[in-house]
Amino acid sequence: MSASLINGPMSESLLGILESLPNPGIAGDDCPRRTKVELDLMLLAIEAIESGSSEQMLELAKKLGLDDIIKNRIVLWRMRSTNPMRRAHTRRNLSVKEAKALSAIGCRLASRLAVTIRQLLLAQQQLSDKQIPPEYNFRLSEYLDHFRAHFRSRMNPRRAKVAIYQDDDKLNELAVSLLGKLLFCTGTLGTQRLWISLFDGEVK
């Protein structure tokens, strides 16, 4: 466990951040499909960047007083399994409060990994400009390998939205696009930026 994650200074209470996130103008308390998919995939990308991230999510939830929402590993799994792309998709709702907690924890972890995320994106851009495959950069290749393995072991290949990623290149594109989304939610107001983006086009 990284000491900077658990013991590092916090500029503001994460519970305060949750309260600062506006309630989306959606009917009921079940988040839209796209919100569930994007949150889960962003957390999947974090897991591909750094092993043990799922444990860090639980530790962070406890440290920041969010364990009344994310009580344990099973609850976290059930929340993430609201993503309809998953093999173990559950039809339970993902409440707005749960989505806020996942967003805040994901952004906190992404901020801690910001340097690595920038390095991965820079490597990808440099290789792409020179038309060199990602395998020539060990760190980028490792991330893409981990992401593909995580995605294929957890997502249902019979789903149309999953089937389009059978090709490695398509899945690599998704992995890189998620790095951009993670970088977007780092820094000041990163959680608020992510939260608003999760409901773009969903509010009538």
Q: What confidence score (pLDDT) does residue 187 get?
A: 80
Go through 168-200 and write b for each residue having 16 or more CB atoms within 10 A of its CB, e for each that does not. Answer: eeebbebbbebbebbbebbeeebbbebbeebbe
Q: What confidence score (pLDDT) does residue 41 get?
A: 97
Q: What confidence score (pLDDT) does residue 3 get?
A: 37
Q: What confidence score (pLDDT) does residue 182 get?
A: 96
End-to-end Cα distance, the chain: 42
CA dihedral (143, 75, 14, 83) positive or negative = positive
CA angle 80–86–88, rounded 5-degree value: 85
List Cα–Cα distances, 14 to 20, 47, 78, 178, 192, in angstroms: 10, 21, 22, 23, 12
Distance in angstroms (rounded) separating the CA atoms of residues 130 and 98? 43
Q: What confidence score (pLDDT) does residue 19 get?
A: 80
Q: What confidence score (pLDDT) does residue 17 get?
A: 65
Let me know: does 44 contact 151? Beta carbons within 8 Å.
yes
> Tens-digit pLDDT profile for the chain (204 aa)?
343 443 444 434 556 767 888 888 787 789 999 999 999 999 999 999 998 888 899 998 888 788 889 999 999 999 999 999 999 998 889 999 999 999 989 999 999 999 999 999 999 999 999 999 999 999 999 999 999 999 999 999 999 999 999 999 999 999 999 999 999 999 888 889 999 999 876 544
* pTM (2 d.p.): 0.88
CA dihedral 158, 161, 166, 168 (to 10 degrees): -150
All structural domains of the chain with their residue ranges: 29-192
Q: What confidence score (pLDDT) does residue 126 get?
A: 96
